Amino acid sequence: MKAINQHIMCSLCAGYLVDATTITECLHTFCKTCIVKYLQTCNSCPICTTVVHETQPLLNLRPDRTMQDIVYKLVPGLYKEERERRERFYLERGEADPNCRPPPMDPVDTSTEFSQNHFSRDEDLLSLQVEPHSTVADYPSVQLQELTRKFMRMSSRAAVHQLKWFLVHKLCVPALYELDLVCDENILHKDSTLKFIWLSYWLKKQPPLIIHYKLKPRLV
């Protein structure tokens, strides 16, 4: 657990992420309350100093429900504690909790596959960083277009072949070549989902999920 704590804790409050919120420009994640308060006096990321937005930094914040569900699953009792805190807060004010959501599954061992319901909502997006694999340099005659943005967010249910199709068109891959997608030096099966890749290769690593693309001659 100690090995992954740094990935599920907010660097601003040093506590576990609550209402996980990600900066779209650099994909660093914080507690919603922490990052909103921070950006009231500063327009750059507190970790990497990337400018979030010159005048309205709050516009480039997005809820990261995928990360929040992971935190709740890995930290026993956190969801219940946060739920009770919210109930007390809104009860004292006679208001309804606008963020009320069904609880996630009970915490499970990190070696166990998550349920099929995990990552099932349309708004559950994964943060990706797409980079060329070092072997792309082995094909100097192939001139690929540069990606305008190497950071992106995709549905956790998206399959590798969908991401591959997107990259083939964005990179303008010549017809005589095709792409392999790689994560942590593992070639990804075309039907694997981003959810499966995250849980298989990246659960204990710092987000975003890094995927490399490799060129190879197309078989005739």
Yes or no: domain 125-217 corresponds to CATH 3.30.390.10 = no
Q: What sign does the CA torsion over 200, 202, 208, 212 have? A: negative
pLDDT at 51: 92
For the chain, the farthest-separated pair of C-alpha atoms sits apart, in whole angstroms, at 70
- Specify the higher pLDDT residue, 188 or 69: 188
Residue 29, pLDDT above cutoff 50: yes
Q: Is the pTM of this model over 0.85?
A: no
CA dist., res. 154 & res. 194, Å (int): 8
Average pLDDT on 87-92 reads: 70
Backbone angles phi, psi at 71, to 5 degrees: -60, -45
CATH 3.30.40.10 in the chain is located at 2-93
CB 156 within 8 A of CB 198: yes
Question: For residue range 94-136, what is the model confidence (pLDDT) as tens digits?
Answer: 665 555 544 444 443 333 333 333 333 444 678 899 999 999 8
Lookup: tokens for 189: 């099966």
Residue 163 has phi, psi (to 5 degrees) of -65, -40
Q: Which two tokens stand for residue 84?
A: 């009770």
Mean pLDDT of 158-183: 91
Confidence of residue 47 (pLDDT cuts 50, 70, 90): very high
The pLDDT value given to residue 220: 67
Q: Would you say the C-alpha torsion 119, 124, 127, 130 has a positive or negative sign?
A: positive
Give me the amino acid identity at 198: W
pLDDT value of residue 90: 63
User: What stretch(es) of the chain map to CATH 3.10.20.90?
Assistant: 125-217
- Position 134 scores a pLDDT of 92
Q: For residue 63, count CB atoms less than 10 angstroms from its CB and return exposed for 0-12, middle for 13-18, buried for 19 or more.
A: middle
Q: Which CATH number is associated with domain 2-93?
A: 3.30.40.10
